[in-house]
Amino acid sequence: MADDWQSEDKASPESMRKLKELLSHPDNQLCADCRAPHPKWASTNIGVFICIKCSGVHRSLGVDISRVISLTLDTWTDDQVELMLAVGGNDAANATYEAYAPHNSRPPSNASVQQRSDWIRRKYEDQEFLTPSLRIGSSVTMKHSRLSSIDSNSSETNTHSDDSSLNPKPPTSHSGKPKLTESNSNRQRPSRSSTMPPLDRINSGMVEFIGLLKIMVLKGRDLAVRDVLTSDPYVKAILGWQQVFDYDTFSADDIMGEAEVDVNPMVEAARMYEGVEIEVGRRQIGKWLATSDNALVRDSEIWLSNGRVTQEMSLKLQHVESGELDIALEWVPLTQ
């Protein structure tokens, strides 16, 4: 079930070899928009390699302008690789998109969120620096409040697979605690979906990408019975205005409980030990304590091993007569 949503047109080893070779070119070792070193993301329709901070702005443009995927976390297709090869890399793309850009107008790698957003929108959405004859009108209204969208390939969390990710710093008006909801449905097929924030609740300048959070559902125990004959429980993960879930388009869902998870202990521990390598085994670097105020069944330890920060936990489902859920988290910082 975990891989049903993924494209069957997975890139061939030869295509991935060509992509890796393209990435190795000197111009592609720096972000196309801010020159930050070692970009780990790409806009496949624009044909550029970008850093994770710039990738957040690209997502906010919408997939009609920029389709962002990870070089390390996502599954590529042959078509996506061919598009990147056809463009020829960052220098070739910038020769077009920055043809009329003022000298030294590109923001530095440590630019503010607003500086970065202004530059990228002027460059790709407003097309200010293109040769006038090459400019194409965008379906997105320019110079107005814009919707910050979630790319369905890179920024969602697949609650059934450890290959997915989430951009976990929502606008400050929303809770920093992801919520997991378990439901029962007579689903015909698994699907993935995400809610979009209304324009008056989200502004691109309010969004800061601090890393990726992978969520994997391990086990459910003593779950509430909702439909003995056709029960098909699933989990929905919510963080701020982002949510990803399997849903049923044919019948109503029966809620089987929910639980909130505080990711702050994990994020803070990861920041403290960023760059630290454990030669042998693993090291405990933090703990989230079980109390009467949270859903933990027992204390949850945070571990560092081979550069990976991980945490497993057992959660008692709330607002339901019974049920526990085991999940595993992995934090991926901006540097990866």
pLDDT digits (tens, 9 = 90+) for 158-201: 333 333 333 434 333 344 566 666 666 554 433 444 444 443 43
Running DSSP on this structure, what letter comes out for residue 43?
A: E
Task: Name the residue with tokens 């006038």.
Answer: 132
Asked if 159 and 245 touch (Cβ cutoff 8 Å), the reply is: yes
Higher-pLDDT residue of 234 and 94 is 94
Asked if 81 and 71 touch (Cβ cutoff 8 Å), the reply is: no
Q: Report, as an integer, the average pLDDT of 115-135.
A: 87
Q: For residue 264, name the pLDDT band (cuts at 50, 70, 90).
A: confident
What pLDDT score does 233 carry? Answer: 75
Q: For residue 244, name the pLDDT band (cuts at 50, 70, 90).
A: low
Asked if 180 and 259 touch (Cβ cutoff 8 Å), the reply is: yes
Is residue 226 pLDDT above 80, yes or no?
no
Higher-pLDDT residue of 14 and 3 is 14
Amino acid letter, 49: F
- Rounded to whole angstroms, the Cα distance separating 296 from 310 reads 16
Asked if 102 and 29 touch (Cβ cutoff 8 Å), the reply is: no
What pLDDT score does 41 carry? Answer: 94
Q: For residue 9, name the pLDDT band (cuts at 50, 70, 90).
A: confident
State the DSSP H helix or E strand holding residue 23, giving kind and residue range, or none if neither.
helix 13-23
Q: CB atoms < 10 A from the CB of 2, how many?
A: 15
- Rounded to whole angstroms, the Cα distance separating 255 from 241 reads 20
Is residue 7 pLDDT above 80, yes or no?
no
Q: For residue 237, name the pLDDT band (cuts at 50, 70, 90).
A: confident
Is residue 331 pLDDT above 60, yes or no?
yes
Residue 129: C-alpha distances to residues 60, 103, 119, 207, 317 (Å): 20, 11, 10, 25, 53
Higher-pLDDT residue of 120 and 64 is 120
What pLDDT score does 118 carry? Answer: 95
Higher-pLDDT residue of 301 and 155 is 301
Beta bridge partners of 68: 43
Residue 101: C-alpha distances to residues 94, 110, 130, 144, 245 (Å): 10, 20, 8, 22, 42
State the DSSP H helix or E strand holding residue 86, giving kind and residue range, or none if neither.
helix 78-87
Q: For residue 68, name the pLDDT band (cuts at 50, 70, 90).
A: very high
Higher-pLDDT residue of 182 and 48 is 48
Q: For residue 145, name the pLDDT band (cuts at 50, 70, 90).
A: very low
Q: Average pLDDT over the chain, rounded to whole?
A: 76
pLDDT digits (tens, 9 = 90+) for 81-113: 999 999 999 999 999 999 999 988 999 999 998
- Rounded to whole angstroms, the Cα distance separating 110 from 96 reads 24
Phi, psi of 91 (to 5 degrees): -60, -40
Q: Report, as an integer, the average pLDDT of 244-268.
A: 72
Residue 268 token pair:
């803070």
So where are the chain's domains?
Answer: 13-134, 179-333
Q: Decide if domain 13-134 falls under CATH 3.30.1330.40.
A: no
